[in-house]
Structure 1
Amino acid sequence: MEWPLVSIVIPAYNRPHTLQIAIDSVLEQTYPNIEIIICDDSTNNGVQEMLNPYLHSFPQIKYYKNGRNLFLENWHKCFDLASGEYINYLMDDDVFHKEKIEKMIYFFNEFENITLVTSYRQTINESGEFLPPIHATTRLYQETRILDGKMLANVALTRCQNVIGEPTTVLFKKRDIIERFGVYKGKQYSLINDLAAWLSLLSKGKAVYISEALSYFRLHPNQNNNTLGLNAFSEWLDIMIASREDGFLDTNELYKTALHSYRERIKGYPQFVEDIKRIEKLLKTLD
């Protein structure tokens, strides 16, 4: 079996305790050829101080402290600094299963035209204890499957949920991301940048869904998703419309299902009145 270099890229921000747990989960990987790229967007030196002992002991860890807050540009900086053939983002509050990378690389080595490998992800709380799945993290299949990329994308789009996975969940080839991470059809998505990247990848080939939990998605009060709240839905309509250019939602019925799902998610919230109007116009064109 080949062991191509895999870059684990971590956009860090003010969470040294959970970041340490995340880094330990990478260092414990059974896969032997990994580098860790950490780009620190923190407003203090907590992450840097925690990392100092690691930097002396583990040459595969490369650390960069940003002079100013880069936000999405920090994601791009991580990507650009990665030397690996493969990339896996790791959020600084999530955790890898120790066999994650080895089990995912297997599919790239053994099968053709794979552009994305994902898995079931186990939700955990602040203390690392298992939580029941939320809607988006419910196990999609009881067995591991190789899927048509467009089929998997359509599952996410018609449900208006990122069932494919957070950035921590997915392994992909660096060369397959032609635009910036989170750019889809020329638009940079900020609130669903992971889904935008997955659609770009799924338009090019097949996906693998591994049914066992190979990453752990931490739910806690201070995570970005909670801070963004309903605003996270504001980009879904644009990405649904744009996705049809790549052959996603390729029948009127699938497109209608996606539009109805989005409408149900935003119904009753005054900030989405214009989106409701757009949906009604789009549905009329499909009748």
Structure 2
Amino acid sequence: MGNPLVSVVIPAYNRPDTLKIALDSVLAQTYPNIEIIICDDSTDDRVQEMLGPYLGSNSIIKYYKNERNLFLENWHKCFDLASGEYINYLMDDDVYHKEKIAKMVYFFKEFENITLVTSYRQTIDAYDQLLPPIDATARIYEETRILDGKMLGNLALTHCLNVIGEPTTVLFRKKDLTERYGVYKEKQYSLINDIAAWLSLLSKGKAVYISEALSYFRRHPNQNNNTLGLKAFSEWLDIMVASREDGFLDTNELFKTALHSYRERVKNYHEFAEDIKKIDIMLTTLD
């Protein structure tokens, strides 16, 4: 099978310093057949200026500066420009372990019906220092496992947590993502677009969870999770309901667990009053 082309796609935005670290981590990969697609949604030229020396000496890097801010469409642009059989997003403030791509491609080559490969991700701070895990990034298993896709999806849905990983964490086959990145059941999710993509992939096959840290998730004051705050939860209820069409949350008990988990997270916030009413009605019909 050789070494199929892997496209590392980076939707960049105003972070030249951390992007440089992220880019260096891709260039240090042990896997020999990679292209790097950078679509720059920045409001200034700092990213473009930082990339100047790289573009002159690395033919595997392809850079595109957007004429206007594309936001979610920038993610789609990255995907469309990718030529690889496999795609791995890389957030411009995260980092790859040098063997990430090689260790993940192995599972696609050696096992059948794999649609998603993820791993434990090590949390780091703004200065690359290791941090203890948060709830979502805690190690799921102590050993590497091949899992039923719906089982891994249910684990995320019943806890209302992205235990699968941020965009940086997951490698997938391009042809398997049949809806646009972040689109699930024809709805574009903006706050949990990664979960939407993962559920689409997990509905089609098996997943691999690698227990060693193959990527580094940076936590810092300016990242989206901090600026969005509680709003990041607002799309979970819709995706829980939609996921049942694909066989996720396929028993009443699993669905009730997911609804209770969501309700518990938002119960003290008045802006979620309508969601709580919907949940209470659904729970009544399930009893």
CA contact (8 A) 1:147 1:208 kept: yes
Structure 2: any 5+ residue segments left out of the alignment?
none
2:17 aligns to what SS in structure 1? helix
CA distance in 1, matches of 2:211, 2:190: 28
- Aligned twin of 1:218: 218
Give the Cα separation in 2 of the matches to 1:282 and 1:186: 23
User: What secondary structure, in the 3-state scheme, does the structure 2 residue paired with 1:137 have?
Assistant: coil
How far the C-alpha of 1:285 sits from its partner, in A, is 0.9
What is aligned with 1:16?
A: 16
Alpha-carbon distance between aligned partners in 2 of 1:94 and 1:73, rounded to the nearest angstrom: 20
> What residue number does 1:3 align with?
3
Task: Name the counterpart of 1:183.
Answer: 183
Cα distance in structure 2, aligned partners of 1:71 and 1:225: 16
Report the Cα offset of residue 265 of structure 1: 0.6
* Count of matched residue pairs: 287
Match of 1:77 in 2: 77
* Corresponding letter in the other structure for 2:9: V
Q: Runs in 1 of length 4+ with deviation above 4 angstroms?
A: none
**AA of the residue aligned to 1:118:** T
What are the superposed Cα offsets for residues 169-217 of structure 1, whole Å, 9 maximum, x if unpaired? 0000000011100000010000000000000000000000000000000
Q: Does structure 2 conserve the Cα–Cα contact (< 8 Å) formed by 1:8 and 1:37?
A: yes
How far apart are the structure 2 equivalents of 1:261 and 1:277?
15
Deviation, structure 1 residue 231: 0.5
AA of the residue aligned to 2:187: K
Tell me whether 1:193 sits opposite 2:193 in the alignment: yes
Q: Distance in 1 between matches of 2:283 and 2:137?
A: 29
Distance in 2 separating the partners of 1:265 and 1:91: 26
SS at match of 2:283: helix
**Residue 261 of structure 1: CA displacement?**
0.2
Determine helix, strand or coil for the equivalent of 2:10. strand
| 2:91 corresponding residue in structure 1 | 91
Return the alpha-carbon distance in structure 2 between the equivalents of residues 224 and 162 of structure 1.
Answer: 14
Q: In 1, distance between residues paired with 2:194 and 2:154?
A: 15
TM-fit CA distance, 1:52 = 0.4
Q: Following the alignment from structure 1 to structure 2, what is the Cα–Cα distance between the partners of residues 17 and 225?
A: 20
Amino acid across the alignment from 2:95: V
Which secondary structure state, in structure 2, belongs to the residue aligned with residue 87 of structure 1? Answer: strand
Partners of 1:2 and 1:109 within 8 A in 2: no
Query: TM-score scaled by structure 2?
Result: 1.00
Aligned identity (percent) is: 81
Q: Take 1:267 and 1:140, find their aligned partners in 2: how far apart are those partners? A: 26
Unaligned 5+ segments in structure 1 are none
Partner of 1:135: 135
Superposed counterparts of 1:151-190, under 5 Å: 151-190=151-190
One-letter amino acid of the structure 2 residue matched with residue 142 of structure 1: E
**Could you say what secondary structure the match of 2:234 adopts?**
helix
Tell me the TM-score normalised to structure 1 length: 1.00
